[in-house]
């Protein structure tokens, strides 16, 4: 992930949450990005959002299989502002969450793996900034507990039928509960050049080398706050 873009994204999400989606929409238009579908609109069928590396791609793929819906899913903005807009528009919403240490380490090593695959120089982004992003994301949604379904990483990856059931109960939908949807998703993902939904040997090895970043006092302080927010967030259920 481009370091400068990340800093700008975090600062905009923190200081201009109400304007962030409009800024993103303008950015997509100027750059001719084909990812404008990620932004929630009144025509969105649902919104699936979470901090990066919280099983976002897996969940979208699994929901498509269980619901039969292939279009209209607002997702992968990795911003609490997309969730707030979905709530405002009355769009059914699932917010994914993973333990902060696991999420930020996974994001850090995925960035390294991407650079390795592309044979590019890896530009380091301090975990400090990932933790700041994590805290902004979930703390901004703590008072919206009645407006979305929470999908814990552990449930999403090992018991997806619970996620579908919770979503059906919340929004009176009738999506199919498929017990072994993970196998279907994995068969699809492993055929891609960059299969990021499931663990790889490269990333597992790299995690051991970046864990030291969490030992400084600055990161320890932020991690403590991130864990506090995480516990508050999952207790909303």
Is 166 buried (19+), middle (13-18) or exposed (0-12) by CB count in 10 A?
Answer: middle
Q: Distance of alpha carbon 148 from its chain centroid, rounded?
A: 15
Q: Which two tokens stand for residue 148?
A: 């979305």
Nearest-angstrom CA–CA distance, 104 and 51? 9
Query: Rounded mean pLDDT of 193-198?
Result: 62
Query: Rounded mean pLDDT of 21-29?
Result: 82
Query: Rounded mean pLDDT of 29-34?
Result: 72
The answer to whether 236 touches 147, Cβ cutoff 8 Å, is: no
* Helix or strand holding residue 49 (H, E): strand 46-50
The residue length of the chain stands at 237
The structural domains of the chain, with segments of one domain joined by +, span 3-234
Helix ranges (H only) for the chain are 3-15, 17-31, 56-67, 80-89, 100-117, 127-139, 153-158, 160-171, 181-189, 201-210, 217-234
pLDDT (tens digit, 9 = 90+) per residue, 165-188? 999 999 999 999 887 787 778 776
Higher pLDDT, 97 or 216: 97
Residue 118 confidence (pLDDT) = 66
Residue 74 confidence (pLDDT) = 95
Question: CATH number of the domain at 3-234, please?
Answer: 3.40.50
Q: How confident is the model at residue 85 (pLDDT cuts 50, 70, 90)?
A: very high
pLDDT (tens digit, 9 = 90+) per residue, 100-142? 999 999 988 877 666 656 666 666 788 889 999 999 999 999 9
Nearest to 104 by CA among 67, 78, 81: 78
The CB-side HSE value for 160 (13 A sphere, CA atoms) comes to 24
Residue 164 confidence (pLDDT) = 95
Residue 86 confidence (pLDDT) = 97
Nearest-angstrom CA–CA distance, 96 and 55? 7
Instruction: Tell me what the pLDDT averaged over the chain comes to.
Output: 86
Predicted TM-score (pTM) above 0.85: yes
Q: How confident is the model at residue 150 (pLDDT cuts 50, 70, 90)?
A: very high
């Amino acid at each position: 992930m481009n370091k400068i873009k990340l800093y700008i994204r975090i600062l905009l999400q923190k200081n201009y949450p109400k304007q962030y989606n409009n800024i993103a929409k303008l950015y997509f238009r100027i750059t001719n990005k084909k990812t404008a579908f990620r932004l929630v609109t009144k025509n969105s069928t649902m919104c699936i959002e979470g901090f990066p590396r919280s099983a976002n791609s897996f969940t979208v793929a699994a929901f498509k299989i269980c619901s039969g819906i292939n279009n209209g899913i607002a997702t992968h903005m990795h911003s609490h502002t997309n969730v707030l807009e979905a709530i405002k528009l009355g769009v059914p919403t699932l917010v994914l969450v993973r333990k902060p240490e696991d999420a930020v380490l996974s994001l850090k090593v995925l960035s390294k793996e991407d650079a390795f695959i592309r044979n590019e120089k890896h530009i380091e982004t301090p975990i400090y900034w990932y933790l700041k992003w994590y805290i902004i994301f979930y703390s901004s949604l703590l008072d919206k507990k009645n407006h979305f379904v929470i999908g814990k990483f552990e449930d999403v990856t090992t018991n997806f039928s619970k996620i579908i059931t919770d979503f059906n109960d919340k929004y009176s939908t009738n999506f199919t509960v498929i017990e072994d949807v993970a196998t279907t998703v994995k068969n699809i993902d492993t055929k891609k050049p960059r299969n990021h939904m499931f663990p790889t040997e490269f990333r597992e090895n790299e995690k051991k080398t970046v864990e030291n970043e969490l030992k400084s006092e600055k990161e320890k302080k932020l991690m403590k706050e991130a864990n506090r927010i995480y516990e508050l967030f999952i207790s909303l259920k």
